Amino acid sequence: MRIVLVGPPGAGKGTQAALLAKTLSIPHVSTGDLFRANISQGTELGLLAKSIMDTGKLVPDEVTIAMVKDRLQQSDAAPGFLLDGFPRNTAQAVALDAILKDFGIALDGVLDLEVPEDEVVRRIAGRRICRNDSAHVFHVLYNAPAVEGVCDVCGGELYQRGDDTEETVRTRLEVYHTETEPIIEYYEKQGLVTTIPALGKVSEVTERAIAALKANANG
């Protein structure tokens, strides 16, 4: 299955993508995670990405698209993939279509996670992520770890993303509305979009997502 996950920052895309990817046995391809890996490795791309990510704006399309193309060519992505955080604008969506056409494949579906804006801000402000695995996500109020600052899953150190500050979140939300939301319409024209509410327990959202993807595959 080849799926794109969309939704505002704080919708739980990373959490759901990791769970869905495991269930569907396909790799979770997160452009945010790929940039963060480049930042921790101190690559040239990481240096560029960090300066832009800290402001909440988008990394230039050219480098982002090249990075995704490279990732999708790796053998583990041959049976399918779950894209999280890409495409982020119409130019990237058009580029993805061209890349997949080149590979002789196409998307199976686009899952749109819907969350009210005040909830998004609450979620992001308290979000803490494990340094060992970005799929281990906690919240200081809603999903607090047993020991403050320590990952329940692997004992790793929990940290607050540098771009999870209130000011940057506002920019990221604005960027989402102006640049990313139009891709939903772009994919609607291809009949690919299923929207699900992303409120409730993590497991409930995952169940909704799986049901939506199955319905999409059968329809």
Binding mask 142-181 for ligand AMP (x = CB under 6 A): ---------------------x--------x---------
122 labelled catalytic: no
Active site annotation includes 88: yes
- Whether 27 contacts 81, CB under 8 Å: yes
The reply on whether position 52 binds ligand AMP by CB under 6 A is yes
Residue 69 main-chain phi, psi, to 5 deg: -60, -45
Decide if residue 8 touches ligand AMP (CB under 6 A). no
Angle at 161 between CA 157 and CA 166, to 5 degrees: 135
CA distance 82 to 77: 9
Q: Is the dihedral of CA 74, 93, 123, 165 positive or negative?
A: positive
What is the smallest separation between the CB atom of 13 and ligand AMP, expressed in angstroms?
A: 7
- 3-state SS, residue 189: coil
Please tell me what DSSP assigns to residue 76.
G
Q: Strands of 137-139's sheet, edge to edge?
A: 137-139, 127-130, 158-159
Catalytic-residue membership of 13 = yes
Query: What sign for the dihedral angle of Cα 85, 90, 96, 99?
Result: negative
**Residue 163, H or E segment:** none
127 catalytic? Reply is yes
Q: Which of residues 61 and 152 has its CB atom nearest to ligand AMP in the complex?
A: 61
Show the binding pattern over residues 102-131: x = contacts ligand AMP (CB under 6 A), - = does not: ------------------------------
The radius of gyration of the chain's CA atoms, rounded to the nearest angstrom, is 17
- Could you tell me the smallest distance in angstroms from the CB atom of residue 85 to ligand AMP? 3
Q: Which of 71, 123, 128, 172 is catalytic?
A: 172
Among 24, 39, 58, 184, binds ligand AMP (CB under 6 A): 58
Smallest distance from the beta carbon of 118 to ligand AMP, in angstroms? 18
Decide if residue 88 touches ligand AMP (CB under 6 A): yes
Considering only 19-27, 85-93, 109-117, 147-155, which stretch makes contact with ligand AMP by CB under 6 A? 85-93
Return the structure tokens found at 168.
């940057």
Residue in 71, 127, 128, 208 annotated catalytic: 127
In DSSP terms, 137 is beta-bridged to 129
- Minimum gap (Å) between residue 23 Cβ and ligand AMP: 21
Which stretches of the chain bind ligand AMP, using CB under 6 A? Answer: 9, 31-32, 35, 52-53, 56-59, 64, 85-86, 88, 92, 163, 172
